[in-house]
Amino acid sequence: ELDETVKVKLTIEYAGEAFSGFQRQAGQQTVQGSIEAALSTMFAGYAKKTGLNAPEECLLTGAGRTDAG
């Protein structure tokens, strides 16, 4: 049995003015939600091209700090 979980480390930096914080929130544009949506789209396109299975959604776990200003 294969473990289909893929773990990667992303180091990101962003200007936060366009977001309602990092963590996913219903009805709000967040950094986590935006990255998850982009990764899900990317993996779905790859799966279609290669015929491999893709996850229905990609979920992130964030760890870090926020600096005001």
Which residue in the list 15, 65, 67, 69 is annotated as catalytic? Answer: 67
Does position 2 have pLDDT exceeding 70, yes or no?
no
- Which pLDDT belongs to residue 22? 87
Under 8 Å between Cβ of 69 and 58: no
- Tens of pLDDT along 38-55? 888 887 877 778 877 766
pLDDT of residue 1: 47
- Is the distance from CB of 46 to CB of 54 less than 8 angstroms? yes
More confident residue, 14 or 1: 14
* CB-based contact 58:40 (threshold 8 Å): yes
Does residue 67 register a pLDDT over 80?
A: no
67 belongs to the catalytic site? yes
